[in-house]
């Protein structure tokens, strides 16, 4: 800014006057300089929030800089607009220190110029700042890495070498780095046709305890030179760019950048899973999937489910904002529309792959076991969670093997809801989902106390036992685990009224426990061991329809 304001008195004026000038910002192609009518075409994409963040950062830095020049006679000339111009020039034409300062180049021989200023050398080696280099900044970007920067310590020079033969009259390209189309559009104002570059960013905002849990994992490595905000930004890769990708690939993990799944698993971890992670730092979903899926199956399912929801939400945002757009009227709008549709395609393809994966997970139905599944179970354990799932509809149907219990509870529910039999569970899910889950879990716990759970469900018996032990540990460490506070009065009343009816059945008894203890454990099991996901209804008015609901995970 200072050198520009000095005009032809500046040593750098011959260079500055060749740059796009502050009064001709239309020459800038970056979205930051587009008119508002063009900006709307970027809403819902990765570029839009990044653009807003850049504006806020520049305004903040400009304000700080104003304090440094307030004594200058021309301090009023250091405007925000001029700062934005200077920041744009610098960001689009500067180079990393490691590329442009020879003393920063690595060398494998001992003969080199003496380092007169160790602090300067150390600063350069950090490679966390950029420099302007006139002439070298005119090269356009070529996505193929066919350019090499070489430093010569002896001559204190650098050389830009094109590794491909250049015909007379051909353009000489530079290589800006391995940048996605989002980075290219935001930083330089163009996108390239290669679909490999169409990565989509996903930003997470974990609670401090989840982030700390992730950082304690042995597989965690802090990315060098990244802020925490950058560290929490992950990528969805186009399917075509994934190694050995094909439409029927059963493992979707290759579509996401490293660390995303591990952080999500730390975010969704319940009390039992958090304790396991704390004592087993090597148990990570990405780096040890077979063990993780075996021990923490519920967590793995919820991690994939949450990621699927995130992809769908981002797709919806793109679709919603696109409905508000008119037909593109200029090259900026045409490019923005192409960019946003390519982002949508990447999200759609990844969401579809995850849908297929979750469909296979849903086949592990606790109450629909088939011997044929045993053959593929060992093959699937590497990539799919070792968990069996149950919907509320199937859970109550399973009680048919206890005819008296089944008749009593279903008639009680039908009477309470003033609905005919058989129960149309789709009508009850929206308001009474968790209440009827707590009731069912209480019934199962009391059948377990009476040792009446069938031998065909050894896993269910073992799982309930492990959860009871887990609950006792929680009570010892937290002194209380009052899940009932999350329920309203109507829900608690229906739970109590149903249990009052069901305990009259000869087979049902809390055993050596009180009904209050059974109920408290059931609240805990529901809160900790269910996930919210789409599940196909088997009967009633919504038969064949996928409905979002609480699904019990037995792992």
pLDDT at 224: 77
CA 72 to chain centre: 48
Percent helix, strand and coil across the chain, each to the nearest 5? 55, 10, 35
pLDDT at 535: 95
pLDDT at 303: 97
CA-CA-CA-CA dihedral for 440, 443, 445, 447, to nearest 10: -140
pLDDT at 381: 47
**Across the chain, which distance is largest between two alpha carbons, in Å?**
100
Bridge partners (DSSP) listed for residue 157: 152
pLDDT at 375: 37
d(CA 555, CA 552): 10
- Give me the phi and psi of 211, to 5 degrees please: -65, -40
Q: Is the dihedral of CA 292, 295, 296, 298 positive or negative?
A: positive
CA 485 to chain centre: 31
Q: Is the dihedral of CA 371, 372, 378, 382 positive or negative?
A: negative
> CA separation (Å) from 239 to 56, 155, 421, 499, 513?
34, 46, 47, 51, 54
d(CA 45, CA 41): 9
Q: Which of 207, 83, 101, 114 shows the shortest CA–CA distance to 151? A: 101
Contact predicate 528/543, CB 8 Å:
no
Going by the DSSP 8-state scheme, the letter that residue 426 receives in this structure is G
d(CA 61, CA 66): 9
Q: Is the pTM of this model over 0.85?
A: yes
pLDDT at 248: 52
Ranges of the chain whose pLDDT falls below 70: 98-128, 153, 241-250, 366-384, 477-481
């Amino acid at each position: 800014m200072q050198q520009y304001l000095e005009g032809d008195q500046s040593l750098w004026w011959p260079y500055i006057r060749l740059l796009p000038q502050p009064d001709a910002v239309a020459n800038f192609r970056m979205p930051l300089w587009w008119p508002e009518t063009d900006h709307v075409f970027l809403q819902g994409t990765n570029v839009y929030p990044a653009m807003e963040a850049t504006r806020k950062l520049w305004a903040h830095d400009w304000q700080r800089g104003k304090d440094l020049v307030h004594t200058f006679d021309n301090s009023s000339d250091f405007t925000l607009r001029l700062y934005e111009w200077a920041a744009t020039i610098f960001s689009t034409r500067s180079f990393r220190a490691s590329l442009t300062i020879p003393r920063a180049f690595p060398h494998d021989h001992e003969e080199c110029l003496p380092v007169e200023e160790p602090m300067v050398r150390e600063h350069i080696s950090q490679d966390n700042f950029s420099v302007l280099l006139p002439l070298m900044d005119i090269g356009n970007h070529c996505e193929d890495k066919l350019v090499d920067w070489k430093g010569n310590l002896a001559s204190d020079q650098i050389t830009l070498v094109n590794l491909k033969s250049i015909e007379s009259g051909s353009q000489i390209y530079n290589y800006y780095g391995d940048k996605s189309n989002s980075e290219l559009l935001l930083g330089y104002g163009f996108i390239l046709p290669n679909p490999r570059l169409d990565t989509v960013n996903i930003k997470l905002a974990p609670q401090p305890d989840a982030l700390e849990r992730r950082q304690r994992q042995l597989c965690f490595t802090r990315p060098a030179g990244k802020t925490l905000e950058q560290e929490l930004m992950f990528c969805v890769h186009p399917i075509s760019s994934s190694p050995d990708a094909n439409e029927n690939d059963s493992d979707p993990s290759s579509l996401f950048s490293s660390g995303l799944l591990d952080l999500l698993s730390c975010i969704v971890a319940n009390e039992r899973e958090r304790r396991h992670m704390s004592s087993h730092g090597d148990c990570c979903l990405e780096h040890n999937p077979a063990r993780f899926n075996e021990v923490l199956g519920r967590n793995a399912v919820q991690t994939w489910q949450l990621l699927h929801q995130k992809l769908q939400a981002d797709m919806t945002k793109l679709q919603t904002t696109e409905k508000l757009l008119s037909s593109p009227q200029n090259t900026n709008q045409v490019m923005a529309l192409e960019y946003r549709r390519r982002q949508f395609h990447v999200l759609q393809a990844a969401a579809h792959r995850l849908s297929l994966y979750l469909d296979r997970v849903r086949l592990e139905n606790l109450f629909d076991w088939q011997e044929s599944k045993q053959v593929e179970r060992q093959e699937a354990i590497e990539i799919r969670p070792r968990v069996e799932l149950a919907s509320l509809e199937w859970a109550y149907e399973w009680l048919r093997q206890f005819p008296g219990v089944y008749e009593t509870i279903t008639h009680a529910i039908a009477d309470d809801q003033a609905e005919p039999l058989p129960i149309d569970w789709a009508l009850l899910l929206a308001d009474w989902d968790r209440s009827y889950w707590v009731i069912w879990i209480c019934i199962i716990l009391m059948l377990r106390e009476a040792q009446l759970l069938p031998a065909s469900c050894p896993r269910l018996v073992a799982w309930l036992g492990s959860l009871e032990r887990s609950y006792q540990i929680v009570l010892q460490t937290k002194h209380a685990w009052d899940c009932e506070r999350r329920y309203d009065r109507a829900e608690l009343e229906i739970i109590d009224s149903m249990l009052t009816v069901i305990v009259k059945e000869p087979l049902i008894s809390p055993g050596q426990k009180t009904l209050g203890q059974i109920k408290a454990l059931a609240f805990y099991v529901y809160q900790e061991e269910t996930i919210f996901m789409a599940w196909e209804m088997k009967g009633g008015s919504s038969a064949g329809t996928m409905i979002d609901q609480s699904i019990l995970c037995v792992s």
